[in-house]
Amino acid sequence: MRRPLVAPSILSADFANLGQAVDDIAASGADWIHVDVMDGNFVPPITFGAKMVEDLRGRAALPFDVHLMTRAPENLVPAFAAAGADYITFHLEAAVHAHRVLQNIRGLGKKAGVSIVPSTPAGALSCLLPFVDLVLVMTVNPGYGGQTCITECFSKIEYLARLRTEQKLDFLLSVDGGINESTARGAAAAGADVLVTGSAFFGAADRAAFVERLRG
Ligand code: DX5
Ligand code: ZN
């Protein structure tokens, strides 16, 4: 089994000190910075706009993994691409023309990701798999950090990993929601390449040790 990448989410950081949060993620040895963008519509809270990514971008050389939990994601893609996002992931449930959005993201030179909430079957992604760089399987209902992982969703990761092998594709499988030291093992065993972690990372006393333990 490959060692998974660890992507701490700044959603669980102190919003008055986000620059410090990015520094802390880099210092911990984690692999990516996960940025949860919420619009107050697809999900109730409102978090960050593109300027936040632009202003934080210079703080770390790590890839910025932008997770759009927004309606009409196509409207936001150009601004986040210009702001320096490396991966831009949107929700299948929020896009009318998901294939077009993926093409737009790749057309801007960025890695294109698509995400599904716990109630969406993984099979809904089958037509899109040849066109994605990342699939983000949510293991909580989006909107809030600190929720309990719905481990039943791990079977979707297994299914997508199987399709990836069968179809000789090479997208990354990311898992997001309630990932901590007790749930990471199951997610990685199911085939997750990227572990997003918010509250567990920022709640850890020794973040570098936490990242190492999460990798397994
Ligand atoms: C939830 C976000 C997640 C969240 C993860 O809507 O997409 O990235 O921040 O936080 P934890 O690890 O606390 O579930
Ligand atoms: Zn997220």
**pLDDT tens-digit readout, 181-207:** 999 999 999 999 999 999 999 999 999
Question: How many domains, in total, are found in the chain?
Answer: 1
Which residue in this structure is represented by tokens 């990685």? 188
Q: How far is the CA of 206 from the centre of ligand 1 (A)?
A: 20
Tokens of 55: 């202003």
Task: Print the domain residue range for 40.
Answer: 5-215
- CA 72, 77, 147, 133: dihedral to nearest 10 degrees? 110
Tens digits of per-residue pLDDT, 134-175? 999 999 999 999 999 999 999 999 999 999 999 999 999 999
What would the pLDDT profile of 98-130 be if each residue is shown by its tens digit? 999 999 999 999 999 999 999 999 999 999 999
* pLDDT, averaged across the chain: 98
Distance between alpha carbon 140 and the CA centroid of its chain, in Å?
12
Unique residue bearing structure tokens 């039943």:
152
Neighbours of ion ligand 2 (CB under 5 A): 36, 67, 176
36 classed as catalytic: yes
Query: Tokens 């996960």 identify what position?
Result: 34
Atom of ligand 1 nearest to the CA of 197: 12
The response to whether residue 196 sits with its C-beta less than 6 Å from ligand 1 reads yes
For residue 67, name the pLDDT band (cuts at 50, 70, 90): very high
DSSP bridge pairs for 90: 114
- CA distance linking residue 185 with residue 88, whole number of Å: 26
Annotated catalytic, 24? no
- Is the confidence at residue 1, as pLDDT, over 80? no
163 C-alpha to center of ligand 2: Å? 23
The enclosing domain of 17 has a CATH number of 3.20.20.70
Ligand 1 center–CA 197 separation, angstroms = 6
Q: Do 155 and 167 contact (CB within 8 A), yes or no? A: no
User: Among 145, 164, 193, 168, which Cα is nearest to 47's?
Assistant: 145
Angle at 162 between CA 86 and CA 123, to 5 degrees: 80
Tokens matching residue 133: 């760089």
Among 39, 133, 176, 193, the active-site one is: 176
Residue 11 in contact with ligand 1 by CB distance below 6 A: yes
| Residue in this structure with the two tokens 């996002």, named with its chain if needed | 85
What residues are paired with 111 via a beta bridge?
87
Provide the pLDDT for residue 2.
Answer: 81
| DSSP 8-state code for residue 114 | E
pLDDT tens profile 13-54: 999 999 999 999 999 999 999 999 999 999 999 999 999 999
| Contact of 84 with 64, CB cutoff 8 Å | yes
Round to whole Å and give the CA distance between 75 and 197: 27
